[in-house]
Structure 1
């Protein structure tokens, strides 16, 4: 039931109240911390773009269109170097969904008389299930990144820094896990030491995924070896007792934050040969895992379980076309002799 009177609250007041509600839902288990963080980030971005001191009920469809366009042009804050590229269609669609959820709550709470979202006309154009800009790295680009990470892990320690500031093994492990296992960045930074175990000689990672779901991922031997090296030589230098459970720690001994992951990728990327170097985000590495597993004809359900999805149809959004894959498929056609 809607409230009987309208509350003339500013955009800033309403988004702050909504963010508090999202945090409360995280505490009660209704939302995962990673999902809540995205919702909160989106409504705070909306507040900044719409004007924090405007009355929320005064916003109409044209105002929402202006906000959506401003967000589309907003540079990707995850990248170190400035970029003029617009936000991806997927990011724009997610932002719009976050605003729709916010205004549904605003309507029920008496902050607005009418929901302005149906009057908004700006929508991101998506080309089928493929993005305008490829997210997945090619095999050569991904191979160069993984090779750079492994060489970084094997390099002699940098004597120019204190022992507790050496993060080479941690950065290498971060990149290799993202590129080969495809976890969400929230799953990686949320990993604890107790989530890794051995069964019949195989190392596993018990991933705590969205919606409270868990999955046990077997680690490929090179990944398991890098994990062991980090635990034996890298993490003890970082562990100052503040986060005894967390797998990945900052040099100050705190659990690695989501925002720390992109700089780690960039540090490894700087060691890749220019011909194979291409900027990539943590989510782009998740796309890379899915794309190459699917291109290698890995069982669809196995790929779904690796990524932690409940529905096979979701895999279509993680599929990029790869150069030469159609030619390769025709060369090994199952109905024709070699």
Structure 2
């Protein structure tokens, strides 16, 4: 569908919001019905799917800022949506496999057109990793770790500083690097692309506080202060754990090359094996981003501060990174702010 519209990308990128791009695209799709190139019923299916994309992505989000990870989150969110046409769908049965495949085709067509029209620099669908099987299979599972699971993972990462030498050469020892990776993901919640792009020079100290200057989507940067414990492990890694090579990358393989984003999951899995089985649950780098957002927000941290830590331009986007915690509502009501202290006479 999209390939028949614009075949030459404009010299300058047009940074449209998701809602603006959707309106333009749907208008184009409906116009094709007048030529007989598309049936009106098919056009309305596309329009409905694009409207769902806007609702899940956030209408004020910039289309070019969406990454493959964002697309994965959108596909998973759609898979979880109740399908009222199916038996039990109103009770959270989720979308059928055919509906999920249709939705993916619809948004793929939009992004293909957006790439040709110059609304996005890179088609994020090419970086999407969620398969049809995962879209169905991941519905019941939480993406964020519970507090106990997250603390177990963080504890295992901290303990890597004390791991014995095990006969390895210094340039083959990756324990401190692995600790830095897990601690940054679990406490700061960067996108995995932001993590592997990080350079040593991006970390600086100001007034006694260690900061990470993160280069995020859309050319935006944010300076995020690191927790003291994380800053200490980072310093130990820079002092004695990172290979002395000219490459400016923060995270290096044992061969001295910049770590690839695909290597990060292996690091997490390696650290997870050190966690007590009762507190262990598999998690992806994006799941650790959800973990950061979930627990910062659950601890009543200012929403705008969390938005700035995660690098979002809009508060509404936080909803996609927020998982419910067991017993959270009960705790919130027990500590109700209007019932603290003595009542007025």
TM-score bracket, normalised by the shorter chain, equals 0.5 to 0.7
Q: 1:164 & 1:135 partners in 2: Cα distance?
A: 34
* One of 194, 207, 218 as aligned partner of 1:200: 207
Equivalent residues of 1:291, 1:318 under 8 A apart: yes
Alignment-derived partner of residue 102 in structure 1: 112
Q: 1:263 & 1:96 partners in 2: Cα distance?
A: 33
Q: 1:334 & 1:168 partners in 2: Cα distance?
A: 43
Alignment-derived partner of residue 263 in structure 2: 260
Does structure 1 residue 149 correspond to structure 2 residue 152?
no
Equivalent residues of 1:136, 1:288 under 8 A apart: yes
Q: 1:168 & 1:99 partners in 2: Cα distance?
A: 44
Instruction: Classify 1:162/1:94 alpha carbon distance in 2 versus 1 (closer, same or farther; 3 Å).
Output: farther
- Structure 2 unaligned segments of length 5 or more: list them: 16-36, 47-68, 70-74, 80-99, 119-131
Alignment-derived partner of residue 181 in structure 2: 174
Instruction: Classify 1:96/1:268 alpha carbon distance in 2 versus 1 (closer, same or farther; 3 Å).
Output: farther
User: Offset at 1:168?
Assistant: 0.7
Q: Say how many residue pairs are matched.
A: 252
Deviations 1:184-222 (A, max 9, x none): 001110111111111111111111010010110011100
Q: 1:322 & 1:288 partners in 2: Cα distance?
A: 10
Aligned-residue CA RMSD (Å): 3.9
User: Offset at 1:88?
Assistant: 2.7
Specify the SS of the correspondent of 1:328. Answer: helix
Instruction: Classify 1:162/1:318 alpha carbon distance in 2 versus 1 (closer, same or farther; 3 Å).
Output: same
Q: 1:104 & 1:215 partners in 2: Cα distance?
A: 27
User: Offset at 1:183?
Assistant: 0.4
Alignment-derived partner of residue 229 in structure 2: 222
Q: 2:312 & 2:104 partners in 1: Cα distance?
A: 17
* One of 283, 289, 298 as aligned partner of 1:286: 289
User: Offset at 1:252?
Assistant: 1.1
Equivalent residues of 1:158, 1:166 under 8 A apart: no
Equivalent residues of 1:144, 1:272 under 8 A apart: yes
Q: 1:253 & 1:153 partners in 2: Cα distance?
A: 20
* One of 209, 218, 222 as aligned partner of 1:211: 218
User: Offset at 1:157?
Assistant: 2.1
- Structure 1 unaligned segments of length 5 or more: list them: 7-16, 32-56, 66-77, 79-86, 109-121
Q: 1:335 & 1:266 partners in 2: Cα distance?
A: 44
- Counterparts in 2 of 1:52-201, with a 5 A limit? 88-89=76-77, 97-103=107-113, 132-159=140-167, 161-201=168-208
Equivalent residues of 2:145, 2:291 under 8 A apart: yes
Q: 1:337 & 1:204 partners in 2: Cα distance?
A: 36
Equivalent residues of 2:216, 2:222 under 8 A apart: yes
Specify the SS of the correspondent of 2:337. Answer: coil
* One of 240, 261, 269 as aligned partner of 1:233: 240
Equivalent residues of 2:293, 2:306 under 8 A apart: yes
Equivalent residues of 1:240, 1:252 under 8 A apart: no
Q: 1:320 & 1:223 partners in 2: Cα distance?
A: 24
Instruction: Classify 1:312/1:177 alpha carbon distance in 2 versus 1 (closer, same or farther; 3 Å).
Output: same
Equivalent residues of 1:152, 1:172 under 8 A apart: yes
Instruction: Classify 1:99/1:263 alpha carbon distance in 2 versus 1 (closer, same or farther; 3 Å).
Output: farther
User: Offset at 1:162?
Assistant: 2.9
User: Offset at 1:104?
Assistant: 5.8
Q: 2:109 & 2:238 partners in 1: Cα distance?
A: 42
Runs of 4+ more than 3 Å apart: 28-31, 89-96, 103-108
User: Offset at 1:131?
Assistant: 6.1
Q: Scaled by the length of structure 2, what TM-score is found?
A: 0.64
Alignment-derived partner of residue 56 in structure 2: none
User: Offset at 1:327?
Assistant: 1.0
